[in-house]
Amino acid sequence: MRMSWFYFFTVFWSGAAVLVVEISAIRLLSIQFGSSLTVLSGVLAVILFALSCGYFLGGKLADYRPSRRLLYTLITAAGITLLALSSLALTVTHPAHSIGTTSSPLTLAFFFFFLPAFILGIDSPFVTKLLTLTTPEREGALVGLVFFWSTLGSIVGSLSTGFVLLPQLGVEATFFWTSCSLVVLGVLGLGVDALLRREPPQESLVIGLLVGVALAGALTLGSRDLSAQFASERQVLHRSDGFYSHLMIFDSEREGRPARFLKRETNLSSGIFVGSEDILFEYTKFMPYQIDAVETPESLLVIGGGAYTIPKAILERYPSIRIDVAELEPSLLELAQTYFELPASEQLTNHVADGRQFLKTTSAQYDVIYLDAFNSGHYVPPHLVTKEYFSLVRSRLTPDGVLIINFIGTVDERGGASLTGSFTKTVAAVFPNLVVYQTDVPGSTRKQNLLYQAAAAATDRYTLPATTTFSTVRGERTFGSIMLEPAALIHADDEIFTDDRSKAELLTAQERW
């Protein structure tokens, strides 16, 4: 039983490593594909399949050759493999363009993370076999202890990844140090085995391990060079892993002028012209006219802060207005103040909260509610598109209040169920006084910002003056020329989203690809 404590530590550590890999893989792929169910389901399926294959082969291999040296050689190989493949994944997924939200996350998860998880799955049956060889009369208890320590390691790995590793170290460093820890564990196990055997480890094995570590390290450094080259092209000012999304701030150009952008996962969330109060994104140029639909607004709620460009512009127009912002990502307010020229103001109150949860807990009433949380990469938050949610939004509007929504959608004339049609039908079920404005040229059916404007009261104050002209990068237009009736977006197969039944993510994949 001299090795029993080390065996239990082995399954504990490998169990933790599997969960670190799993959660980090989800975050890595979400940078490219968004925080969608397809990413989550794909990674979970690959890791579970890899573990099941590892358990199966590990049991057979342990019966055939129950060797400590083989066990810790495999763990070392798992660390080297994880280091090499995760380094390659960091290179491929950052600059690559995604080719589909359904199959790509599953394919990439399998390619990059199946093998290390498969090797780590071998160790539990292997350790069980080695333990029962020495004390077969305690077979049941030993099996239970192996499962206990492995599962406990998974719990520790899960909590440490979400609360410490990813927020503090980031994806790349988390993969790197997890890989190194597995290599250290494997080499340490080989050393303990050699001591118990009273013989030195084979020279060829040591050389092989050193070559493997050197190769994996070279791949890691190479991936960093490629990532740095990609980043330098965009003049990256800040990159971090937030609690809910990968954040990148970079300088570039727009319309021949210096501009600064916030990218959250795959989505260009916000942007400004550096050193100018001019509004950058086309859809945000509508904002002053939309707010003016409410005479002398006194209160505004913005759900989805981004770089806080909307609150900033509204404060410039209405210095006395009270603004609440509900933003889930804790670091964005500070980043907006540092990089996006957001001034400190007593009129702006930031709430680190999910938009729906904030609406549930507040009793405040607002003249305007601005919803801008629907485009995070290729992901539409399902709980923010349901009839129950919009009923909650309506209850927080003043009697003459106005709801404004920025939604990425399409004006699809092909028929059949669609994300945009179902979303529009859901909003219209709660707000019968509804109009939609398309920001692209009239008649365009490509993906674009659609601006919804609605009111609970029977009034036309929620519409923009049809004959009013405004300037865009595409020339002068009138609001009447870009106004759409909701019925034009809704098809017979579209369904109202509810908390119980919502096809939002399925239709997102269908519409976006």
* Model confidence pLDDT, tens digit, residues 112-152: 899 999 999 999 998 998 888 877 767 788 889 999 999 99
Section 393-399 average pLDDT: 93
Q: Which of the two residues, 209 and 194, has the higher pLDDT score?
A: 194
Tell which residue, 44, 50, 70, 181, has the closest CA to residue 116.
Answer: 50
Asked if 351 and 324 touch (Cβ cutoff 8 Å), the reply is yes
Q: What is the DSSP letter of 294?
A: S
- Residue 391: the pLDDT is 95
Q: Are 352 and 327 in contact (CB under 8 A)?
A: yes
Find the length of the chain.
Answer: 513
Q: Helical H runs in 198-299?
A: 203-233, 287-292
Asked if the model's pLDDT at residue 459 lies above 70, the reply is: no
Q: Is 256 left (phi over 0), alpha (psi -120 to 50) or beta?
A: left
What's the pLDDT at 242? Answer: 76
CB 502 within 8 A of CB 382: yes
Q: Residue 96: its pLDDT value, please?
A: 43
Q: If DSSP states are collapsed to H, E and C, what string results for 37-78?
A: HHHHHHHHHHHHHHHHHHHHHHHHHHHHCCCHHHHHHHHHHH
pLDDT in tens, 69-80: 889 989 999 998
The CATH number that domain 280-512 falls under is: 3.40.50.150
| Six-digit token string for 489 | 């977006």
Of the candidates 140, 141, 157, the one whose C-alpha atom is nearest the C-alpha of residue 18 is 157
Run of H or E including 502: none
pLDDT band at 347 (very low <50, low <70, confident <90, very high): very high
Count H helices and E strands in the chain, helices first. 17, 14
Mean pLDDT over residues 354-363, rounded?
90
Strand 257-264 and strand 246-254: pairing?
Answer: antiparallel
Residue 229: band (very low, low, confident or very high) from pLDDT cuts 50, 70, 90: very low
The domains of the chain are located at 4-232, 280-512
What percent of the chain is modeled with pLDDT above 90? 28
Q: Report residue 461's pLDDT band, with 50, 70 and 90 as the boundaries.
A: low
| Closest alpha carbon to 188 in 85, 81, 69 | 69
User: What's the mean pLDDT in 221-235?
Assistant: 50
Assign 481 a pLDDT band (cuts: 50, 70, 90). Answer: confident
> What are the beta bridge partners of residue 498?
none
pLDDT of residue 163: 79
Q: What is the pLDDT of residue 66?
A: 85
Q: Reply yes or no on whether the pLDDT at 52 is more than 90.
A: yes
| Range with the poorest average pLDDT among 89-93, 202-206, 354-358, 378-382 | 202-206
Average pLDDT rounded to a whole number, residues 164-193: 84
pLDDT band for position 349 (50/70/90)? very high
Contacts 24+ apart (CB under 8 A), 128-131: 128/62, 129/59, 129/62, 129/63, 129/66, 130/3, 130/7, 130/62, 130/66, 130/68, 130/71, 131/4, 131/7
For the segment 242-269, the average pLDDT, to the nearest whole number, is 84
The rounded distance, in Å, linking the Cα atoms of 407 and 438 is 10
Distance CA 406, CA 286 (A): 10
Binning pLDDT at 50, 70 and 90, where does residue 306 land? confident
Q: Which two tokens stand for residue 305?
A: 């802060």
Instruction: For residue 478, list its beta bridge partners.
Output: 469
Contact 224, 232 (CB under 8 A): no
Helices assigned H by DSSP within 65-202: 68-93, 103-121, 123-134, 139-160, 166-169, 171-197
Query: Is residue 26 exposed (0-12), middle (13-18) or buried (19+ Cβ within 10 Å)?
Result: buried
Q: Is the pLDDT of residue 11 over 50?
A: yes
Burial of 169 (0-12, 13-18, 19+ CB in 10 A): middle
Dihedral sign from CA coordinates of 186, 191, 196, 200 = positive
- Report pLDDT for 231: 46
pLDDT beyond 60 at 93: no
Whether residue 308 is predicted with pLDDT greater than 50 in this model: the reply is yes
Fold of 4-232: Growth Hormone; Chain: A; (1.20.1250)
pLDDT of residue 227: 45
Listed residue (23, 31, 27) closest to 263, CA to CA: 31
